[in-house]
Structure 1
Amino acid sequence: MKTGYILSGRYKIKNTLGEGGMANVYLAYDLILKREVAVKLLRLDLRDDPGAVRRFKREAISLTELAHPNIVSIYDVGEENGMQYLVMEYVQGMDLKSYIAKNFPFNYEQIISIMEQILSAVAEAHAHDIIHRDLKPQNILIDSNNQVKITDFGIALVTSEYSLTQTNTLMGSVHYLSPEQARGSTVTKQSDIYSLGIILFEMLTGRVPYQGETAVSIALKHFQNEMPSVRDFDEQIPQALENVVLHATAKLLTDRYASVTEMANDLGTALSLARSNEKKWLPEKSNDEETKILTPLREKDLKKDQKAAEDTSRNKKEKKKWSRRKKWLVFGISFLIVILLTTVTAIGLMLPRNVEIPDLRGMTEVEAKSTLKDLKLKVGSVKQRYSSKYYYGQIVASRPKEGTSVRQNSKVNIILSKGQEKFKFGDYKGQSYTTVKNKLEAKGVTVLNEKKHSNTAAKGEILGQSISKNRKVIWNDTTVTFTVSSGAKEMILRDLTGYTRKSVQDYADELGLILKVKNDAANSSSSNSSLTVSQYPAAGTSIQSGQILEITLANEAQNSSTKDSSSQSSSASSNSKSNSFDVNVAIPFDGTTQQSNPDGSKTNKIEIYLQDKDHRLSDVYETQTITKDTNVTLPFTLDNGTGGKYKIVRDGTVIAERDNITHNGN
């Protein structure tokens, strides 16, 4: 898989971590949770191999049942374009094989610390009846803090579902294979204990106990050769520590540790002073039968033997006198008895006997047929139902259920998984994003959003969705992105003085404003000459679509007359010396306010009061809604010798006011 490829729209491949016989492992970045993960991808040449796919899925099932600090966590399971993949915890470090090669030799306390973590993880798996079957240093990861993580449960065995290994098939690495695995016998939890003993051997000596040119030759040594002594490699190794290796790698299951916990307890005291003089551990030997001593023959015994010989000779003579008829009678009776016994035995073998239905859960239909055939049972009806635990095509349950005793040739009905149930996604346009998000996340959906301005939709309203409303989805495997309205875009209102009504209307339509006209001269003959003489809100005010823009119109003649009158008035009253000027005021934004929009953003409501020649302080001059620090310009017209005032109120509280403002701004 190429670097940069995004798997399932979420996991971006960064580089390759390793390649194996069944799967390749990649380092990837989770674009949603913003973290590095390990992606294990089934090799493309194996995606049509049912056995490989089954083992790969079995690893996912095994890992989902295990939650332990020394077992790699699984985050996600999926399939894309026929590619099976697992998303797992990324452990930054190296495998134990590389760690041994780099750090050997290391002290016994460190070896025991690492082994105790491994044993703790395996004990957790065994507690869930999961046998790893492929324990080896290559499947044990260790980070910079010496924390151990066991991985690769691809051939793990669930004891409740299967009882035997695949005949004549050696799974896992042959250097760590138990004798019973090498022979193709039953695999038990003690098989993992044997592998753990080999791992401890390698950590103490830096090498594996058996070498050979072929895998078969090494496998033979596991159940034929005596385990080499670790003290032959290093005589400083305590005998008690070697005894743990010998006890764990005993050839017979009866001599081996019965459980991982027993091995952990023994290992935990291996360096104690109380065991410093411990003798070498040896497996128990079976007792031979005692030799019987024969007493010498005595004279009385010889006489008895002589008499017995004479009696035998006499009996032989008497037997010769039996008639031929009696001999044939005895022969006939014996023959009939043999025939009768043979017939009864054959009938008994031919009659069906009772067998116990095995646990078929997790098997495919083909696997179930093969398993039942070995027990002389048949598959009956096949039904399907949804399941969140088993993959599509795996058996969910059987009827009668597992463990039930039935006669041979009986039929066993099975229920196959249809996979997880899919539901129609639905249409969420026009609904509140917060409400929909809470609803979908409760079902396991990953919900994302992107903002977009809208002149028609309120803030927080859903404008669109990345998944079609009719598409059927599995809730906990679904990621949706909603387009959410951030409200109308804020605009600064321009100065409309001198604009015609048509120009103002075009401008209002462009911004999505509602135009309201006062003193409209549209019905007069000079309507085409009507011009704007005032507006509300004032020029420079922040405004959004949907708000009202109010203007006052007068015709051009009126404007001209007004201007002439103003000029004359200005000339006539030039002695009054009225002055017009602007005062800039900074309004700080308060982020602790309780005022908020549907999308969660904070706002302040601002009211401005102004007193000059044309305004009274008791009247609201202007109202604004701000979302950040804002500067406003206040226009004042004052007669000479008079002063102006202003007051700023934010959410009902006065935050700024000034008295005695003069024409020079003081």
Structure 2
Amino acid sequence: MRANYTLNGRYRIIRSLGEGGMANVYLAHDLILDRDVSVKLLRLDLRDDPKMIKGFQREGLAATELVHPNIVSVYDVGEENGMQYLVMEYVKGMDLKAYIQEHFPIPYQEVINIMEQVLSAVRVAHDHNIIHRDLKPQNILMDENGVAKITDFGIAVALSQNSLTQTNTVLGSVHYLSPEQARGGMATKQSDIYSLGIILYEMLTGTVPFKGETAVSIAIKHFQSEIPSVRDFDPRIPQALENVVLQATSKRPEDRYDTVKSMADDLETSLSPRRASEPKFVPDHDSDNGETKVLDKAALQSELAAHKVDETDENGVKVAKPKKKKRHHRKRWWAVLIGLILLLVAGTVFAFWLGRPKYVSVPDVTGMTETAAKAKLSDKNLTVNKVTHKTSRQIRKGRVIKTNPKAKKSVQTQSNVMLTLSSGPKLVKIGNYVGQSYTRAASVLRAKGVTVKRQNQTSNDVAVGTVMAQSTTSGTRIDPDSTTVTFTVSAGQRQLTLANLVGKTKTQIQTYASKESLNVSFNYRYASAKKDRATSQSPAAGSLVSEGTTIVVTLSRGPKPTTPKIDEFSVTVDIPFEASSDDSSSNATDDSSDSSDTSSSSSSAVSATNVVQIYLRDQDHNYRSVYKQLTIAQDTQVNLPFAVESGKSGGYKIVRDGKVILSDNNVTKNSH
């Protein structure tokens, strides 16, 4: 679908986000609610397939039943010109697969936090009797705040539906496929739990447990091969955490967690020191399931001896085994003596062995919390005698950076070990830069390693290049590597491109000038154009002007009449400026204060002006409309043009801040 296409008159397509096996996904903008959304569109080659259309519609139905902060919301379902589409929440970020590749190794607590969000979402789906059946990192989105959201219920099935038609088809991604699905069986809630175990495995190791050249070879491994140990990849992983992976990925569904909640509860305490000595999880195999077993040869021989099986001759007749003759050992006095000597030597060696110094290898506790590290060292009969702190960008705050002696070094038991904990990255304190030059403020922060961005904003009161606002509050301490400070900088008065006013009426021109904060002055000339239509303007259309600029527009009087005679003349009028009482108090405050904030400056600037409207009465004007409006800050002289029929008079009226201050209703050519 091309960019800028508007779907259903509401969703304007911006760009493609990706393509899947069933649908294509686009970033779009909801023109009614003014927000970005994701639009999933069924692929062109599948639009005539009733099964695919039904599955696509089922996804929308399944997702609309699920309301949860960790499930992508579905806003709308529709069809246009044969195109089936879903409108969903747009999650700005990346999928979990890309997140693992970019952030691996991921701290164990963060792994647990992400998994708990995913488990919470799957639990809601299971409570609604909906099985996802395609759980994988590619279907879990991570937004910019680290919130996980599950998407793509395209092959989800409600348990209440007849699912027998699915048993001969293997659905889902093969790397995360449960053994029963790989065999062609029907998916259950335990199938989703198996996939969640594989996802947890990948977050801990950075890779999937089974790989192969074909999808079939990988599927076979899921129901034949044991899951590799995550502790073989990273020995620092607690056994309790590995046990969550092992139980979730058990071959038999009945050996897995009963519910997603049980898995979440087990995962929550997997880093607890109380579970430090937990044994490795082994599934309970009471039944043999009819599988072929290999018997141990030594065990078999022992079993035969226990039952005293007699041998048979070549004719099949049992032949009793000849009994061995008992050997009688004579007691010899020297045997007792040798035994006593050996006992004495053994006792001496044993006493020496007990008294020798014992050595242990210092365990690697890097990345652990202080409590967990002390517990692990205590298990090795080592004592923490000192804890120091050091800034670090690689190790999270409160986690161990190193030990002294170093990890894996051999030391005597009961030795003292010093821990160095991370105090996090070195923070930079942000000052108050409002009112300062952007160039100076930015250079100060950049010298400290802070990333600074600039956004311009027009202002009639703040000088160009001055900081008007800052994104980070003064006094805040930030990590310069992860926080960007944005300054709002004055760009001076707003400028605009002047519109073409020729042909416009006087009312239209006054409306435009008021909207764009422009002053307008009118001249009149006889012309062939309709009366009160603009025939020229200055500055010309397309000129770049600032707010407050005065534009001069010439209006048509219509064709010049032959009679009566029109006297044209002008009158000069002085308009006095009047300062308000607010100005005086504001000025007094300014004189007594060293500084003032932006808002008070702005208030002073507004109250130190007069708004003046001028009304004319002559051949071309009347008192019903304003001839000219202007803002003055001092005594101002204006020139008023009149066109009066000979023998008649004109008039003017000047209003300042809503009050008439000057007027003359008998203006003639010779009176001024």
Q: Aligning the two structures, in what range does the TM-score lie when normalised by the shorter sequence?
A: 0.3 to 0.5
> If you compute each CA radius of gyration, which structure gives the higher value, 1 or 2?
1
TM-score with structure 2 setting the length = 0.47
